[in-house]
């Protein structure tokens, strides 16, 4: 029977091996932080809009090249362009440059008569024929110079003011065929490039980051006093991929090395090292294959989280070899059968705790839960099916293992004495005081820790260019495109007073560049009447009979605008049809003070089809909601585990259960005393403490008084501390908080478990 199980598991492992080869040849690793977040079940159109906005912006790279003078800035920009152009398969220049102005002029020229600013609209509706005629005469006799169009096409000079309003959305201006701005003691050239590869399909190679760094080095060395500021989703995606890869190596490899060193010190044999390593490797491979088959993509943070699996999955191998020491090879089968009840119960509690992560609708957490649970099952089956067959030689008792095993007799045991009750009272006071100080923080920015240099560049670029915020915006919906544009206009009328009061620096809307068809027709009639009066006044004053230019008969449509390079500035804001409705986004500039956000949100009150979206706040509230949900699940989990333990150990079940309860409370108390905020990933760590911490008590109760059980618990505890201690070094705040939770809890549980062991001569029967 044992050989059949070993052969069957071998076939499964071979199948996993084949899948692993195929997977890594075309690995689909995801670095998109949005993939970790829950779907917005209350407003799916907001989630769809956010994702589409992120997808459209996911390939854009914006650079500012600055120097003390304009000539040096142009030379530096040429160097950057040369470096970025070396690999056309990686990056291509975007249409966002000065040359796109010509394309925009050609697109809008036939529709010039129906492009009016609100101020122009008000003036034209109130101006007298004399005022209109005077303005037209003044424009006619202005000195010759560069003009956007001739006098007949724009006798009142309306078009330059309309373009000036559009230009106010950015501080960049055309100069010598480039986009230029001045600020912070430098002259800057604005460059825009487009990634040929999706940012969310990038690996850890950092190809775009390497190219940008090479361009930065060329600029700083060849043009004195110059600098390059770069920002864009591709850079963040590559930084996340590189960080995750480094952390996976540090945590996974570091944990594995620590485990193998412990095995060598304990058993002084290569065989346990090899077999424990095999069980860990197969467990991780099984986890990767199952996760890849269930999910379309495997997230890199799943691998970082799963790399801590090394600190848990080796428990089964430790337990087997600790009991195997000093016994002849002929007892391998009976030994494994005697160990299986405790190992199965330990596996069950751990898997249940891991799978509890999947209760929350976080795709990333579900991946982590599946990866960890299947990895543990894979490691356990390797130990149960293969170890009795492959472990053929003798395994003598070493002095290190003897000292460890005999230390159990010297370990203090809980007793009803004054000293123990005083210590318990002090611990209770410590826990109560810490719990009173516990504070919570639910912030979506915990999910990813971006490098400081990228954040600094993003802030500087946003400050210089006055870029709109991607996290707060208005979502405008309607039954058709015309209704969306009309509703945008209503919203802008509410926002204009906020801009006047300097609550906002400004906004950017599609209807600024594309008025609704009704508005275009109305403005066309208004400008036609006013310009006819102006032309008549000029004819009367000069004796000549100028004629007004002809314009397009139809209106400018979204399809025509989006097909032109002129739409580059607002293309990502036009979401088009999502479900049964059409949507657009109105983006806001100058959101530097969070206290003004409620006032801005009030601007949408009463406007049908207009919704204020603060994605940072929404996701943070969602994190808070599921932190509370998982907190409730922990309480239910403790009750369920206690009932499970009572079935097996009856009145002695508290001995396996109490250390984990105290470990959880001590962890929360320490967080309170040191000021570490409690967040969702801390609570998830507490959930896993429940599953793993109880394992130690189970092993001790299954084999009371046996030094081998204590040796296995000691080795498992130390190795788990090492693995999760390394996870606490993660640059990602969420993973770091998770690691610290596990570290504090495991230390407490490991220290308390032997204190709750059975008295000599007593068993659980």
Segments forming the whole domain that contains residue 581: 467-515+556-589
Q: Please indicate whether residue 161 or residue 444 has the higher confidence score (pLDDT).
A: 161
**Average pLDDT, integer, range 592-614:** 89
Q: Are 445 and 33 in contact (CB under 8 A)?
A: no
Distance CA 278, CA 284 (A): 10
Is 494 a member of any domain?
Answer: yes
**Does some domain include residue 322?**
no
Average predicted confidence (pLDDT) for the chain: 82
Other Cβ atoms less than 10 A from the Cβ of 605: the count is: 9
What's the CA angle centered on 126, arms 123 and 128, to 5 degrees? 105
pLDDT of residue 310: 60
Question: What mean pLDDT is predicted for residues 354-379?
Answer: 81
What pLDDT does 35 receive?
Answer: 62
Instruction: Tell me, yes or no, whether 69 lies in a domain.
Output: no
Give the per-residue pLDDT at 31. 60
Q: Where are the beta strands (DSSP E) in 540-603?
A: 574-578, 581-589
Yes or no: say if 362 and 299 are a contact pair by the CB < 8 Å rule: no
Q: What is the pLDDT of residues 633-657, one digit of tens each?
A: 788 888 888 888 888 888 888 998 9
Asked if 5 and 385 count as a contact pair (C-beta separation under 8 A), the reply is yes
- Across 408-417, 508-517, 644-653, 731-740, which has the greatest mean pLDDT? 508-517
Q: Which residue has the higher pLDDT, 581 or 304?
A: 581
Q: What is the pLDDT of residue 764?
A: 65
Reply yes or no on whether the pLDDT at 203 is more than 50: no
Residue 479 inside a domain? The answer is yes
Comparing 8-12, 460-464, 739-743, the range with the smallest average pLDDT is 460-464
Name the residue among 270, 275, 276, 267 with its Cα closest to residue 396.
267
The encoded tokens of residue 706 equal: 């046996």
Q: Residue 21 has what DSSP assignment?
A: H
Beta bridge partners of 553: none
Cα→Cα distances 378→347, 417, 696, 714, Å: 11, 45, 20, 23
pLDDT for 517 equals 93
Query: How many CB atoms neighbour CB 8 within 10 A?
Result: 12
- At residue 32, does pLDDT exceed 80? no
Percentage of the chain exceeding pLDDT 90 = 25
Tens of pLDDT, residue by residue over 659-671, are 999 999 999 999 9
Q: Answer yes or no: is 729 within a domain.
A: no
Between 250-254, 500-504, 568-572, the lowest mean confidence (pLDDT) is in 250-254
pLDDT at position 43 is: 62
- Mean pLDDT along residues 283-290: 92
Query: Do 288 and 371 form a contact (C-beta atoms < 8 A)?
Result: yes
Residue 237 pLDDT grade (very low, low, confident, very high; cuts 50, 70, 90):
confident
pLDDT single digits (tens) 133-181? 888 888 887 765 455 677 888 888 898 888 888 877 667 777 777 878 8
Q: Which residue is associated with the tokens 């123990």?
A: 420
| 510 located within any domain | yes
Q: Are 161 and 41 in contact (CB under 8 A)?
A: no
Does residue 306 register a pLDDT over 80? Answer: no
**Which stretches within 113-204 are classed as H helix?**
118-126, 129-140, 158-167
The answer, yes or no, to whether residue 256 has pLDDT greater than 90, is no
Ramachandran angles phi, psi of 515, nearest 5°: -65, 160
Q: What are phi and psi of 611, to 5 degrees?
A: -130, 135
Which of these ranges, 243-257, 501-515, 651-665, has the smallest mean pLDDT? Answer: 243-257
H-state helical runs in 205-331:
207-222, 233-248, 254-267, 270-294, 300-306, 310-313, 315-324
381-405 confidence digits (pLDDT tens)? 999 999 998 988 888 888 888 888 8
CA distance 165 to 510: 13
Residue 543 has pLDDT above 60, yes or no: yes
pTM, to two decimals: 0.72
CA distances (Å), 763 to each of 135, 645, 655, 742, in order? 104, 14, 12, 30
CB-based contacts of 549, cutoff 8 Å, min separation 6: 150, 152, 153
Worst-scoring range by mean pLDDT, 298-302, 333-337, 420-424, 498-502?
Answer: 298-302
CB distance 22 to 291 below 8 Å: no
Rounded to an integer, what distance in angstroms lies between the CA atom of residue 682 and that of residue 673?
Answer: 15
Could you give the CA distance from residue 187 to residue 66 in angstroms, rounded to a whole number? 5
Residue with tokens 């920015």: 445
Distance CA 355, CA 385 (A): 24
* 753 half-sphere exposure, CB direction, 13 A CA radius: 28
Candidate ranges 29-33, 195-199, 510-514, 577-581; pick with highest mean pLDDT: 510-514
Which pLDDT score is estimated for 269? 87
Q: Which pLDDT does position 245 carry in this prediction?
A: 66
Best mean pLDDT range from 94-108, 320-334, 690-704, 725-739: 320-334
pLDDT of residue 204: 43
| Whole-number Å distance between alpha carbons of 66 and 73 | 5
Q: What is the mean pLDDT of residues 329-346?
A: 88
Q: Which of 627, 689, 674, 739 is nearest to 251 (CA)?
A: 739
Q: Is residue 108 part of a domain?
A: no
Residue scoring higher pLDDT (57 or 98): 57
Q: Is the pLDDT of residue 688 over 50?
A: yes
Instruction: Please state the domain count of the chain.
Output: 1
E strands within 423-516?
468-478, 506-508
Q: For 253-270, give the secondary structure using H, E and C.
A: HHHHHHHHHHHHHHHCCH
Distance CA 695, CA 347 (A): 8
Residues facing residue 611 across a β-bridge: 475
Residue 44 pLDDT more than 80? no
Rounded average pLDDT over 98-102:
61
Instruction: Examine residue 526 and state whether it is found in any structural domain, yes or no.
Output: no
Judged against a pLDDT cut of 90, whether residue 608 lies above it is answered with: yes
Residues 523-540 pLDDT 10s: 999 999 998 898 888 888
Q: How confident is the model at residue 763 (pLDDT cuts 50, 70, 90)?
A: low
- Whether 224 has a pLDDT exceeding 60, the answer reads yes
pLDDT greater than 90 at residue 550:
no
| pLDDT band, very low/low/confident/very high, at 745 (cuts 50, 70, 90) | very high
Q: What's the rounded mean pLDDT across residues 18-29?
A: 79
């Amino acid at each position: 029977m044992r050989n059949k199980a070993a052969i069957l598991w071998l076939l499964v492992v071979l199948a996993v091996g084949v899948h692993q080869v195929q997977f890594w040849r075309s690995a689909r690793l995801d670095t998109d932080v949005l993939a970790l977040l829950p779907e917005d079940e209350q407003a799916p159109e907001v989630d769809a809009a956010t994702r589409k906005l992120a997808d459209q912006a996911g390939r854009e790279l914006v650079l500012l090249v600055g120097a003390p003078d304009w000539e040096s800035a142009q030379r530096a920009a040429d160097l950057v362009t040369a470096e970025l152009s070396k690999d056309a398969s990686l990056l291509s220049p975007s249409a966002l440059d000065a040359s796109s102005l010509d394309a925009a002029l050609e697109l809008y020229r036939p529709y010039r008569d129906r492009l009016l600013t609100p101020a122009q609209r008000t003036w034209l509706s109130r101006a007298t024929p004399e005022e209109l005629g005077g303005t037209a005469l003044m424009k006619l006799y202005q000195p010759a110079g560069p003009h956007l169009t001739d006098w007949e096409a724009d006798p009142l000079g309306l078009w330059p003011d309309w373009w000036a309003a559009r230009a106010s959305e950015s501080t960049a201006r055309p100069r010598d065929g480039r986009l230029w701005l001045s600020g912070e003691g430098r002259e800057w050239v604005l460059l825009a490039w487009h990634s040929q590869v999706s940012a969310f399909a990038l690996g850890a190679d950092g190809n775009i980051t390497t190219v940008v760094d090479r361009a930065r080095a060329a600029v700083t060395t060849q043009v004195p006093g110059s600098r390059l500021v770069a920002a864009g989703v591709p850079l963040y995606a590559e930084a996340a991929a590189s960080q995750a890869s480094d952390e996976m190596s540090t945590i996974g490899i570091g944990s594995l090395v620590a485990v193998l060193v412990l095995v060598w010190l304990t058993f002084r044999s290569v065989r346990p090292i090899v077999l424990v390593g095999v069980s860990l490797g197969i467990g991780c491979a099984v986890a990767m294959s199952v996760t890849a088959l269930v999910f379309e993509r495997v997230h890199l943070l799943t691998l970082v989280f799963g790399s801590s699996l090394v600190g848990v999955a080796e428990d089964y191998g430790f337990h087997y070899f600790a009991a195997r020491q000093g016994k002849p090879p002929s007892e391998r089968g009976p030994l494994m059968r005697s160990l299986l009840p405790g190992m199965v119960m330990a596996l069950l509690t751990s898997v249940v705790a891991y799978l509890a992560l999947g209760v929350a609708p976080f795709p990333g957490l579900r991946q982590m839960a599946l990866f960890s649970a299947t990895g543990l099952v894979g490691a356990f089956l390797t130990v149960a099916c293969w170890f009795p067959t492959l472990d053929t030689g003798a395994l003598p008792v070493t002095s290190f293992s003897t000292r460890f095993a005999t230390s159990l007799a010297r370990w203090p045991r809980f007793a009803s004495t004054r000293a123990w009750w005083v210590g318990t009272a002090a611990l209770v006071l410590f826990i109560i005081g810490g719990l009173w100080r516990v504070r919570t923080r639910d912030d979506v920015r915990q999910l990813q820790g971006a490098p400081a240099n990228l954040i600094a560049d993003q802030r500087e670029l946003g400050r210089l260019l006055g870029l709109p915020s991607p996290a707060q915006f208005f979502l405008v919906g309607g039954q058709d495109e015309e209704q969306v544009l009309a509703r945008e206009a209503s919203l802008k009328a509410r926002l204009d007073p906020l801009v006047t009061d300097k609550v906002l620096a400004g906004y950017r809307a599609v209807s600024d560049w594309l008025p609704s068809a009704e508005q275009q027709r109305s403005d066309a009639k208004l400008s036609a009447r006013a310009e006819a009066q102006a032309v008549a006044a000029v004819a009367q004053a000069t004796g000549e009979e100028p004629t007004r230019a002809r314009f397009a008969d139809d209106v400018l449509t979204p399809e025509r605008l989006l097909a032109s390079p002129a739409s580059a500035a607002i293309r990502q804001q036009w979401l088009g049809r999502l479900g049964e409705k059409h949507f657009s986004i109105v983006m806001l500039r100058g959101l530097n003070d969070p206290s003004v956000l409620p006032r801005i949100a009030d601007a949408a009150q009463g406007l049908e089809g207009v919704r204020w979206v603060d994605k940072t706040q929404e996701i943070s509230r969602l994190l808070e909601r599921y932190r509370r949900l998982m907190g409730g699940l922990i309480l239910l989990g403790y009750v369920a585990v206690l009932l499970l333990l009572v079935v097996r150990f009856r009145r002695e079940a508290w001995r396996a259960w109490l250390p984990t309860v105290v470990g959880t409370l001590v962890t929360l108390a320490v967080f309170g005393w040191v000021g570490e905020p409690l967040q969702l990933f801390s609570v998830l760590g507490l959930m896993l403490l429940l599953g793993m911490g109880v394992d130690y008590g189970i092993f001790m109760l299954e084999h009371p008084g046996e030094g081998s059980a204590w040796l296995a618990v000691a080795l498992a505890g130390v190795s788990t501390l090492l693995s999760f201690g390394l996870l606490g070094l993660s640059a990602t705040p969420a993973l770091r908080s998770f690691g610290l939770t596990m570290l504090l809890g495991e230390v407490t549980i490991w220290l308390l478990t032997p204190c709750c062991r059975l008295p000599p001569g007593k068993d659980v029967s």
